[in-house]
Amino acid sequence: MTASGVHPDLAVDAEELTRKLASRDVVGVTIGWVDNNGIVRTRTVPTAELPAATRRGVGNTTAFAVFDSHDGITFAHEGLATPSGDVRLVPVVDGPLGVTAMAGQPGFAFVAGRQLTGDGEPWAYDQRAVLERQLDRAADAGFGLVAGFEMEMVVSHEDDPLDPDGEVRPAHRGPAYSANAIRDVGEFCRTLLADLAHDGVRVGQLHAEYGGSQVEMALAPLPGVGAADAQVLARQTAHAAARQHGLRLSFAPVTLMAGAGNGWHLHTSLTAADGSNALTGDGPHGLSEVGLGYVAGLLDELPGVTAVTAPSTGSLLRRRPGFWASAYGFWGIENREAALRLVPASALLGPGATNVELKASDASANPYLSLAVVLAAGLAGVEAGATPPDPIGEDVGTWTAEQREAAGIAPLASTAQQAREDLLGSALVRDVLGDDLLGAFVACRDADAAWAAPRQVDDVVASLRWQY
């Protein structure tokens, strides 16, 4: 098994795969990738054209690397400063999830894509390749990555599905985490769970969340790039399931300013060469030396990391004290107000359960880049033999500014300018993304900030509500 979770000897016969898809009445294969705003972009080929697409890819404009969250194209990044240029989008038919005939979209299959140059080389702006490079680095150091996403969404009745500023019409009445709330959307939840199982996405649990008409699905952890692929497929499955019941989902970081936003909390752990959890040990807080270094590395790089894992104007609006949304940069054991929450092993869960949850993570992030920077930060701490400060078990938002300063706790970015400085100020993020992709990523953030600057907060929220 390679670091990306793909067996090196796995060879997919595209012709045979095409025949199998056609026998299931699949007429089109949708190739998807995620842009720098967390938006899934796609190209669809007739099923008969899949073998050709696997050999030479599908033409794609380089401009997608500089699309912003509102489908504007910025040419502020010098490397992509004109509308000229083409790359090849190639379906990853031998990826961890392969090609999935979608339960909720009869006649269509979905497959993740990678972006290559015309010479067949990795494109500098391909986010999937960024993660694969970090997984290879981890493998060289003797580690694998296991990750899983908790995906929060607001469920709304659908009026006009084409209305970009449509209001939210709550599909469940609450209370939070209640049986009544799930009962209100029971038919949707039944379809969602059935379709996820059909589509090969394992789910740990599903429940009504704290926010208004909010539901969360927790994806089962997977190794390497498979965790990101599953997250992309899960959202396509969820949107399709909602549509079958006249519902509309919003995964946006903030759907309504009045309540809690949507996070896509990212749980990660390292595995050792023997497959055991490398974070678990007999040191402080049940951590090994590797585990202590992993937490310390993440904590040290938190400003730059969260500028990638929660990058949008919506992310900044979501980041409010008291909403379990990572307003401050600190860590704690099972502390849900902390940006980094350690979930330790226990007698009930077993030694393999240790993981670190990053709460400053949401749907506007590219999942491949998110995993890449998190892995790199954690490994940097491991390699340095770093040790984190003592964990905090309180809500530091209730402390005075003087108390937080004395404890060395600073707020995470709440403005676009600060987030920009955090991005450009992180040598680790620059190393992971590379100068080209970082330049495009920053250009997208600048374009979003410029769009939002003259507008009211509610207008910014509405503009992103149905983008995710």
Cα separation of 17 and 110, whole Å? Answer: 13
Average pLDDT over residues 128-132: 98
CB 158 within 8 A of CB 247: yes
Residue 38's pLDDT is: 98
Instruction: Give the Å distances, CA to CA, from 66 to 77, 83, 126.
Output: 8, 10, 12
Residue 256's pLDDT is: 86
Cα separation of 374 and 356, whole Å? Answer: 10
Residue 55's pLDDT is: 93
| Span of 72-76, 127-131, 165-169 with lowest mean pLDDT | 165-169
Q: Report pLDDT digits (tens) over 342-374.
A: 999 999 999 999 999 999 999 999 999 999 999
Residue 11's pLDDT is: 52
Statement: residue 2 has pLDDT above 70? no
> How is domain 14-127 classified at the architecture level of CATH?
Roll (3.10)
Contacts of residue 390, Cβ cutoff 8 Å, sequence gap at least 6: none
3-state helix, strand, coil in the chain (%, to 5): 40, 20, 40
Q: Report pLDDT digits (tens) over 36-50.
A: 999 999 999 999 999
pLDDT band at residue 8 under the 50/70/90 scheme = very low
> What's the gap between Cα 81 and its chain centre?
27
Residue 3's pLDDT is: 46
Statement: residue 155 has pLDDT above 80? yes
Q: Where in the chain are the domains?
A: 14-127, 136-465
Residue 96 has phi, psi (to 5 degrees) of -55, -35
Q: Residue 135: which of 265, 271, 305, 292 has the closest Cα? A: 271
Residue 339's pLDDT is: 95
Q: Report pLDDT digits (tens) over 169-222.
A: 999 999 989 999 999 999 999 999 999 999 999 999 999 998 889 999 999 999
Average pLDDT over residues 427-443: 98
Statement: residue 5 has pLDDT above 60? no
Residue 1's pLDDT is: 37
Class (C level, CATH) for 136-465: alpha beta
Please enumerate, as own/partner, the contacts of 21-26 that have beta carbons within 8 Å and a separation of 24 or more: 21/47, 21/50, 21/99, 21/101, 21/109, 22/47, 22/48, 24/101, 25/106, 25/107, 26/101, 26/107, 26/108, 26/109
Statement: residue 407 has pLDDT above 80? yes
Residue 321 has phi, psi (to 5 degrees) of -60, 145
* Mean pLDDT of the chain, nearest integer: 94
Contacts of residue 320, Cβ cutoff 8 Å, sequence gap at least 6: 327
